[in-house]
């Protein structure tokens, strides 16, 4: 291990220790640590800096209480420690100056980045398709329910008309029956008059 690598490891371990101080300020800590990482890793620092800057130490929900805030902050601290420990392990295993190791690591990083992007892409697609299905199902059910109610109303109206017509038919039938009875009575009277 070279002197540069030893100093880089000591610097990163000091940054890990700084996480557990009582006056830990995530913004200041991240800015300082990113500056050290730029010096240590040079051109390879961008991804590491992005990782550290993407760590969330605060809950943005308006009703999040102090307990939730503390858990989020502790989770962010743990994530930062794991990243820094990973950087230390990288220095121990691959060193800092070897171009072969850098190109090998860049290939691995780009593979992981591509895989991560693909997973994120397909995850997003899955969420969008699921959301579209849910909305379509909801609106389809709403439209079906609306149509069902419309048909029910039309059916009720038709049933009322049928009942009304049935009443008219029944009244007409009674009238016809009444007229038939009167016709029979008149026919009998006519028959009696003709016999006399």
Model pLDDT for residues 74-83, shown as the tens digit of each residue: 999 999 999 9
Q: Which structural domain range is residue 92 located in?
A: 3-97
> Residue 104: inside a domain, yes or no?
no
> Residue 182: inside a domain, yes or no?
no
Count of structural domains within the chain? 1
> Residue 10: inside a domain, yes or no?
yes
> Residue 91: inside a domain, yes or no?
yes
> Residue 55: inside a domain, yes or no?
yes
> Residue 36: inside a domain, yes or no?
yes
* Percent helix / strand / coil, the chain, rounded to 5: 85, 0, 15
pTM: 0.48
Q: Is 90 exceeded by the pLDDT of residue 63?
A: no
Q: Is 60 exceeded by the pLDDT of residue 72?
A: yes
Confidence of residue 108 (pLDDT cuts 50, 70, 90): low
> Residue 119: inside a domain, yes or no?
no
* Closest to 51 (Cα-Cα) out of 24, 82, 7: 82
Residues 6+ apart with CB under 8 A from 29: 15, 18, 19, 80
> Residue 43: inside a domain, yes or no?
yes
């Amino acid at each position: 291990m070279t002197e540069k690598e030893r100093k880089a490891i000591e610097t990163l371990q000091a940054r890990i220790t700084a996480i557990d101080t009582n006056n830990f300020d995530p913004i200041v800590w991240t800015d300082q640590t990113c500056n050290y990482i730029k010096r240590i890793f040079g051109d390879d620092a961008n991804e590491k800096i992005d990782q550290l800057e993407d760590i969330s130490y605060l809950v943005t929900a308006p009703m999040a209480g102090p307990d939730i805030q503390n858990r989020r902050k502790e989770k962010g601290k743990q994530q930062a420690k794991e990243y820094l420990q990973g950087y230390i392990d990288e220095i121990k295993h691959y060193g800092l100056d070897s171009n072969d190791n850098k190109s090998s690591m860049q290939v691995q990083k780009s593979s992981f980045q591509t895989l991560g992007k693909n997973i994120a892409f397909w995850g997003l697609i899955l969420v969008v398709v699921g959301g579209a299905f849910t909305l379509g199902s909801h609106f389809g059910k709403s439209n079906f329910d609306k149509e069902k109610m419309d048909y029910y109303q039309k059916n009720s109206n038709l049933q009322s008309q049928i009942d009304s017509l049935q009443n008219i038919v029944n009244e007409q039938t009674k009238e016809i029956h009444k007229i038939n009875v009167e016709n029979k009575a008149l026919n009998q009277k006519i028959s009696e008059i003709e016999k006399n």
